[in-house]
Homo-oligomer: A and B are copies of this chain.
Amino acid sequence: MISLTNKQIANLITVEECVPVIEELFKNIENTQMPPKVYMNIPNGDFRSMPAVVGNTAGIKWCGLNIREEGKIHIFAKILINDTISGDLLAIMDGELITAIRTAAVTGVATKYMAPEGSRVAAFVGCGVQTPNQIKAVCAVRDVERVNVFDLDRERMLGICRDMQDYKVEIHPCLDLEDCVGNADIVTTLTPARGDGYLEHCMLKDTCHVNAVGADAKGKREVRQSVLEGVDLIVYDEWEQCSHSGEIQYGSNTTMVPLATVVAGNGEHEGRQTLFDATGLAIEDVATARYIYDKIRNNIMCG
């Protein structure tokens, strides 16, 4: 049995490396099982259990979210994976970094299959801990020449630009939301916004792709109804989760298809304006953990 910390995992997998892992997962979606996430509410947050089977790997992510003093959010996650043939536990891994990496990798896969081929400008709204990984995922699948970022918290926005100053693409802080997304071919929203959302359809280019990553719970919302109705195609990661917790919980008359269908169709679903609604899936955690496990085992066996 292998036990891995976030720090060790950081040296074992990159976002760019995880994109094809997640692509492969969605190509083989028929070899997966994923019962609904189970939530247990506690006074200052919740705990979630996310079991899944991917091929011959059964696994679970056990994670919690606590609001501590001064409103600080504390995230906890562990991932356990077992071999389904032997039943043996293969690994216990810290789940926080895997979650961030696989979430970005899914954005990469959706962008690869849905964003305009010639995309050059990518906008990222919200400059939290996930944003650098999301930038890397998008830039892994398109020849992005300019990255715009925006956050209401100016310090946080400038922090991202500073942290990524050596990155292959220049990161531009923006004055406001319109400035950030207005000329973007790819827009990725990464905020914990609630209420009516903030992204309007009139802000978007005529041809573009939106990754709506932030909304993953009832009441969360980043894109306004004008976007949900205005785009030509909505792709969701998983119907049950998205219709309960994603952007599409608010309903839309736009055509909706699962990401697995888009990935199987090799891009035939590319539209004029597309939106990907991501809530985060247990199968993504299990597939990524298994990839890391196999990488270590192969290294050990070859080394």
Binding site for B on A (CB under 8 A): 33, 35, 38-45, 47, 49, 51-53, 58, 60, 62, 64-66, 68, 74-76, 78, 80, 82, 84-89, 92
Q: Quick check: B84 and A78 within 8 Å, CB to CB?
A: no
Could you list 18 A-B pairs, sorted by A, with CB under 8 Å? A40-B52, A42-B53, A42-B58, A42-B84, A44-B85, A45-B87, A47-B51, A47-B84, A58-B64, A60-B62, A62-B80, A64-B87, A65-B87, A68-B86, A74-B86, A76-B82, A76-B88, A92-B92
Query: Which residues of chain B are within 8 angstroms of A38 by Cβ–Cβ distance?
Result: 35, 38, 49, 51
Option from B35, B39, B44, B65 in Cβ contact (under 8 Å) with A40: B35
A43 and chain B: residue at smallest CB distance: B84
Compute how far the CA of A62 lies from the CA of B59 in the bound complex, rounded to whole angstroms.
9
Main secondary structure of the interface of A (DSSP, over half): strand
With both chains docked as a complex, state the minimum distance between the C-beta of A179 and any C-beta of chain B, in angstroms: 37
In the bound complex, how far is the Cα of B74 from the Cα of A298, in angstroms? 26
| B76 touching A78, Cβ below 8 Å | no
Are A78 and B87 in contact (CB-based, < 8 A)? no
In the bound complex, residues from chain B placing their C-beta under 8 Å from that of A60 are: 49, 60, 62
- Residue of B68, B78, B86, B87 touching A80 (CB-CB under 8 A): B78
> Which residues of B have CB within 8 Å of A33?
40-41
Report yes or no: A53 in contact with B40, Cβ–Cβ below 8 A.
yes
A33, B88: Cα distance in complex, Å: 29
- Inter-chain contact B47/A53, CB cutoff 8 Å: yes
A150 to B52, CA, bound (A): 40
Could you say which residues of chain B place their CB within 8 Å of the CB of A87? 45, 64-66, 68, 74-76
Please name all residues of chain B whose beta carbon is closer than 8 Å to the beta carbon of A74 when the two chains form the complex: 86-87
| Interface hub of A43, A45, A52, A78 (most chain B Cβ within 10 A) | A78
How far, in Å, is A170 (CB) from chain B's closest CB?
Answer: 37
- Say whether A58 contacts B40, CB under 8 Å: yes
